[in-house]
Amino acid sequence: MRTILTGARLFDGRTLHDGMALVIESGQIAALLPESEAPEGALERLPGGILAPGLVDLQVNGGGGVMLGDAASVEGIARICAAHRPLGSLYLTPTLITDRPEVTARVLAAGIAAAREGVPGFAGLHIEGPHLDPRRKGAHDPALIRPMTGADLAALCRAAAELPSLMVTLAPESVTPDQIAALAAAGVVVSLGHSDTALGPARAAYDAGARCTTHLFNAMSQLGNREPGLVGAALDTANAYAGLIADGIHVAPEVLRIACAAKRGEDRLFLVTDAMAPAGTDMAEFTLGDRPIYRRDGRLTLADGTLAGADVTLPAALKVMVEKVGLPLDAALRMATSTPAACIGAGERIGHLAPGRAADLVHLDDALQLTRTWSAGA
């Protein structure tokens, strides 16, 4: 069966194209070509808008009513991935918030099994903690934060060899440069976050092999006039990636604009949802460990008002970047497709529209509202 989609602007992961057709055959992209050259087949004309690769989210703590730590199984990972598919995130790295060593071990084992079973949308794991700085704990349980041990290092390196990708968020204060170098050599994407570090140790961590920063500006040392902190180090390290929560709450639009200006032309900033269990549901509250989290007015918070993840989708974040930050549409779209894919080394598989790739697509209308998704052409 051949399907031909026309009528929308095509975003191929880098550039927007007008007057193009996307040809799908047997669940794969067969061609991108001018509408006038489209072959015969089942033609569907979309009502304008944008046809883009399935969006990629590298920080997803939960969804469909569960958190990864409480659903550390292939079924739990599949449930989280399925919950985000109708929200536009067709690829994601389910994320474990700081937890006990035995929970981390279960999540790593579940991720390896999910990869072997080919769970749709599973792009790897993100382990956020427990090797953080308690001074910048955010919603993480400070009782579980601890330095990295040799056993922790070995377990992460082993898992990296069997997962599609493995990102680990850590604070330079909680590890050594040698541990960072060993993780990087094993293929782990080392991301700095939840840290009160000064510029010097942050630079040493990047030099040792860290290449990303987790939810830039949140839960980290800020940019000062004499001490640039982790924010300054992230913005001033040209090859460092960084995730951003663009919900209009975690980071002011003006600050997002400054970050984009600092990283202009580098394609190193990407959007994340930092989603929690309520994603894809109408849940009003849930439990993180033994602490209640409340969902109110677009926010997820602990009882004391501390932000605990976010209540945003990637299409909504795109809208913030375009309408409030003023980013060009193609640049914003890269932040949700090709840039996060490149960050985890998956750019040859996801984040782009190209012949031979799975026809995993999203359609956004002219107001950047998600209207449809396709998985393997369906």
Q: What tokens were used for 226?
A: 């004499």
Residue 247's φ and ψ, nearest 5 degrees, are: -100, 5
| Mean local confidence (pLDDT), 165-187 | 98
Residue 36's φ and ψ, nearest 5 degrees, are: -65, -15
Does the pLDDT value for residue 90 go beyond 90? yes
Place of tokens 């050599």: 185
User: pLDDT tens digit string along 288-331?
Assistant: 888 999 999 999 999 999 999 999 999 999 999 999 999 999 99
Contact status, residue 274 vs residue 309, Cβ threshold 8 Å:
yes
Q: What is the model's pLDDT at position 24?
A: 96
Rounded CA gap, 194 and 220, in Å? Answer: 5
| Mean local confidence (pLDDT), 77-88 | 97
Does the pLDDT value for residue 275 go beyond 80? yes
Does the pLDDT value for residue 264 go beyond 90? no
**43 falls in which pLDDT band (50, 70, 90)?**
confident
Rounded CA gap, 161 and 8, in Å? Answer: 40
Strands across the sheet containing 299-301: 285-288, 291-296, 299-301
- Pairwise pLDDT comparison (287 vs 75), residue with the higher score: 75
| Mean local confidence (pLDDT), 327-345 | 97
Q: What is the model's pLDDT at position 84?
A: 98
Contact status, residue 276 vs residue 61, Cβ threshold 8 Å:
yes
Contact status, residue 68 vs residue 94, Cβ threshold 8 Å:
yes
pTM of the model: 0.96
Q: What is the model's pLDDT at position 185?
A: 98
**38 falls in which pLDDT band (50, 70, 90)?**
confident
- Pairwise pLDDT comparison (288 vs 108), residue with the higher score: 108
3-state secondary structure 30-88: EEEEEHHHCCCCEEEECCCCEEEECEEEEEECEECCEEHHHCCCHHHHHHHHHHHHHHC
Q: What is the model's pLDDT at position 266?
A: 75
Q: What is the model's pLDDT at position 325?
A: 96
Q: What is the model's pLDDT at position 40?
A: 80
Q: What is the model's pLDDT at position 289?
A: 83
Domains and CATH numbers, the chain: 2-52+356-374 (2.30.40.10), 55-343 (3.20.20.140)
**41 falls in which pLDDT band (50, 70, 90)?**
confident
Contact status, residue 11 vs residue 50, Cβ threshold 8 Å:
yes
Rounded CA gap, 73 and 85, in Å? Answer: 19
Rounded CA gap, 336 and 113, in Å? Answer: 26
β-strands 9-11, 16-17 pairing: antiparallel
User: pLDDT tens digit string along 200-227?
Assistant: 999 999 999 999 999 999 999 999 999 9
Does the pLDDT value for residue 160 go beyond 90? yes
Q: What is the model's pLDDT at position 116?
A: 98
**42 falls in which pLDDT band (50, 70, 90)?**
confident
Rounded CA gap, 209 and 330, in Å? Answer: 30
| Residues catalogued as catalytic | 274
Q: What is the model's pLDDT at position 1?
A: 80
Q: What is the average pLDDT value for the chain, to the nearest integer?
A: 96
In Å, how far are 60, 115, 201 from 66, measured between CA atoms? Answer: 11, 20, 36
